[in-house]
Structure 1
Amino acid sequence: MTSARTARRAAALGLGALWWWAVLRLALEPDAGVLEGAVAVGGWGLSVLPVHCVPRCRAAGALQAGRWRHALRASAGERGLGGAGRSE
């Protein structure tokens, strides 16, 4: 178990270092090429994966109808914009 954890950490550290190398090379070297761009974009793409997803049964509040309308009204009310349905 410890060796698997160590291997995962080493892989994450190595891939993170590779990504930073590609990003810094793109930013600082005028002759950076396609390889650096592919590594940088690939790493960024991994960072936007929906790793926060939960099963549908646990996401009940996020699935109810009208939740965006309710959130926007609450947000407008907090900012003092006089959201719809708010009595003064």
Structure 2
Amino acid sequence: MAARGVALVPVAALGLVAGGLWWWAVLRLALVPDQAGLVEGAVAAGGWGLSLLPVHVTASRGVTRASRRRRSGGGSAPL
């Protein structure tokens, strides 16, 4: 279980760096648009495009583990 926590540290750091880079590009485009260039526009558009991805969706297993509800009077049980 500890190995999973260690692997999350670089991923979280990468996310913070990417988020900071995106905010830098967006603020530069908003505050000084005459000095912003193609790189800032591409970073801002790319970050916005990534926000449209449904990252909360995961692959399904195809088999559910839910149990069926038993009907009353559906059959006799051993005594």
Normalising by structure 1, we get a TM-score of: 0.57
Query: What is residue 30 of structure 2 aligned with on the other side?
Result: 27
Normalising by structure 2, we get a TM-score of: 0.63
Query: What is residue 11 of structure 1 aligned with on the other side?
Result: 14
Q: Which of the residues 47, 52, 75 maps onto 1:48?
A: 52
Distance 1:53 1:8 in 2: 19
Which gives a bigger RCO, structure 1 or 2 (Cα 8 Å, sep 6+)?
Answer: 2
Amino acid aligned to 2:56: H
Distance 1:20 1:48 in 2: 17
Distance 1:52 1:10 in 2: 20
Distance 1:20 1:4 in 2: 25
SS in 1 for 2:50: helix
Over the residues paired in the alignment, what is the CA RMSD in angstroms?
Answer: 2.0
Q: Which runs of 4+ in 1 moved over 6 A?
A: none
Q: Which of structures 1 and 2 has the bigger CA Rg?
A: 2
**More helix by proportion, 1 or 2?**
1
Greater Cα offset, 8-17 or 44-53: 44-53
Percent identity over paired residues: 56
